[in-house]
Structure 1
Amino acid sequence: MTRIAALAGHFGRDVPRALLKLETLIESARRDRIELLVLPDACLGGYISDLRRPDPDDLPPALWRDGPELDALARMAGEMTVCVGYTERDGDLRYNAAACVTGDGILGTHRKVHQPAGEFLAYAPGDRFEAFDTPVGRMGMLIDYDKTFPESARTLALDGARIVAALSAWPASVTDRAARLPQDRQSRLFDLYDAARAAENQVVLVSSNQTGMQGGMRFLGQAKIVGPGGEVLARTGTKGGLAVVDIDVEVEVERARRVLHHLAERRVDTYRGLLDEKGDIG
């Protein structure tokens, strides 16, 4: 059995404060014997304050992948596997990024590929989805809008991921906001994508999210862990909290794929619209 947790929590611009908060959180998770902890997108430095027109004078601080912040988080993690979101600096470019760490260092990274609305004004896009090996099994990461696209999680599953960590700073609708978050259409879509990506790939999906406010955006929370049949195994509400479940990932994935094995039963020859210039599935 592996004890997995997904966090719903608020993180703003203050990186040192976030690290202090994460130190307390990780120590509590260690006492609870959590082996995989998935933190929200933009934990270290917060998210942009306006999705349509990001303020260039109020962008999240950009951190180096090999900088002291991720190094400190890795030391905190120790034997635990921890996924965290941050803004990554690479030369003159900034990426909405995630890293998966243990006390041994960085095990895997991801740069958000799909960019909604005006996010391209604040971040450069990533260009790949790759799975990687961890102490809790082979896994991959998605950030926010990535999980809207079935090809994202499918690419990770085809690369052997049994666990998909979906880190989000997912807000309520910016154009048609509901009076209550559970009734917001983005709340419905957030839950729908989590269940669909898990079920169609028959993997365990661990979905974290920000809560509270950042500028004009209100985040949904709704962290959850979804089994390979699309069933929600544990979840939080719209406020901060931790969704925790004990699961034998390999056993549950194999059970889901015993009769109907979605990856093996694909008809690649019929997916004409997905063919790239070389004739391969893109």
Structure 2
Amino acid sequence: MTVLRMAAVAASFDRDLAADFDRVEHWVRAARADGVRLLALPEAALGGYLLSLDGTAGAPPPLRVDGPEIRRLSAIAGDMVVAVGYCEDGGGDRYNSVVCVTGDGVLGNHRKVHRPLNEDATYGAGDGFAAFDTPVGRLGMMICYDKAFPESARALALDGAEIVVCVSAWPGSATNPEPDLAKDRWKRRFDLFDRARALENQIVWLSANQSGTFGSMRFVASAKVVDPGGDVLADTGVAEGMAVAELDVRAALETARRSMGHLRDRQPHAYPVLGDSAVVAG
């Protein structure tokens, strides 16, 4: 039996990159002291998210995946596997990205595919989902709105991902906001997506999120670890914190899939890929 101790963080990050690195180091130190081997930090942890989603907010500072900032992140990670959101300098375009590193360097990088509201005014779109091998198992990554699309997690599960890390800057509702953030309808959706994506693919799910406020955004926090049955093993609620859980990942996947294997029992001929030919009712 190989038990993996993993964690997802809810915390605030902003445009002050030096302060962001201090926060990253704080959470990595706290996680290491708690025996964590896999740690997920929020979307835009390096540089902060957008100030609003009306298309007028400037982007965080763009960083190259092979640049000095990501090398510094790798050095901070050391013997741990750490996933962190950042604004990627892709040459001609900027991307809302998440990078997975250890002290040995970059293990994987994902560019956000699905851009909500006016996020496309700031970021280009990624073009796919791919799992990759790490010292703690085969991982997949996605960012925030990506998880609202079942195809995202399914593509990663079919590519062999045992654990999916979803980093977010998920806010509370902008219309008719609920004073009690714990009762906010967008928080409810955030939590439902986390549990549904884990259950339908029978995978382990780490969900990190921004907390506090930034610009016009009030984030729901709610970092969590979800098992392959859709049960929440650890959750920060709407406050800053670190959700930590231990699990024998391989055994948990085998147990969840033994009787009803959702990937095994698919019938792809019954639901062929429609792609751009699909008609969406208005």
**CA displacement at 1:28 relative to structure 2:** 2.0
Task: Give 1:265's aligned residue.
Answer: 265
**CA displacement at 1:118 relative to structure 2:** 0.3
Task: Give 2:237's aligned residue.
Answer: 237
Matches within 5 A, 1:127-276: 127-272=127-272, 274-276=273-275
Residues 48-68 of structure 1 deviation map (CA, whole Å, 9 limit, x = unaligned): 01112332xx32111111111
Q: In structure 1, which of residues 14, 17, 20 is the aligned counterpart of residue 19 of structure 2?
A: 17
Residues 142-200 of structure 1 deviation map (CA, whole Å, 9 limit, x = unaligned): 10000000000000000000000010000011223111111111000000000000000
Structure 2 portions without partners, runs of 5+: 278-282
Q: Secondary structure at the match of 1:141?
A: strand
d(CA) in 2 for partners of 1:31 and 1:20?
16
Task: Give 2:280's aligned residue.
Answer: none
Residues 86-109 of structure 1 deviation map (CA, whole Å, 9 limit, x = unaligned): 000111310000000000100001
d(CA) in 1 for partners of 2:139 and 2:168?
17
Aligned length: 275
Q: 1:191 to 1:277 in 2, by over 3 A?
A: closer
Residues 48 and 54 of structure 1 are in contact (CA less than 8 Å); yes or no, is this contact kept in structure 2? no
Task: Give 1:123's aligned residue.
Answer: 123
d(CA) in 1 for partners of 2:31 and 2:56?
34
Q: 1:120 to 1:277 in 2, by over 3 A?
A: closer
TM-score (normalised: structure 1): 0.95
Task: Give 1:113's aligned residue.
Answer: 113
Residues 55 and 122 of structure 2 are in contact (CA less than 8 Å); yes or no, is this contact kept in structure 1? no
Q: In structure 2, which of residues 30, 33, 53 is the aligned counterpart of residue 31 of structure 1?
A: 33
Matches within 5 A, 1:84-95: 84-95=84-95
Q: Secondary structure at the match of 1:220?
A: coil
d(CA) in 2 for partners of 1:3 and 1:104?
20
d(CA) in 2 for partners of 1:112 and 1:54?
19
Task: Give 1:52's aligned residue.
Answer: 54
d(CA) in 2 for partners of 1:231 and 1:162?
16
Residues 83 and 98 of structure 1 are in contact (CA less than 8 Å); yes or no, is this contact kept in structure 2? yes
**CA displacement at 1:276 relative to structure 2:** 4.7
- Paired-residue identity, %: 52
Task: Give 1:64's aligned residue.
Answer: 64
**CA displacement at 1:277 relative to structure 2:** 8.3
RMSD: 1.2
**CA displacement at 1:30 relative to structure 2:** 1.2
**Which one-letter code corresponds to 2:34 in the other structure?**
D
Q: Bigger shift: 199-208 or 83-92?
A: 83-92
Residues 54 and 119 of structure 1 are in contact (CA less than 8 Å); yes or no, is this contact kept in structure 2? no
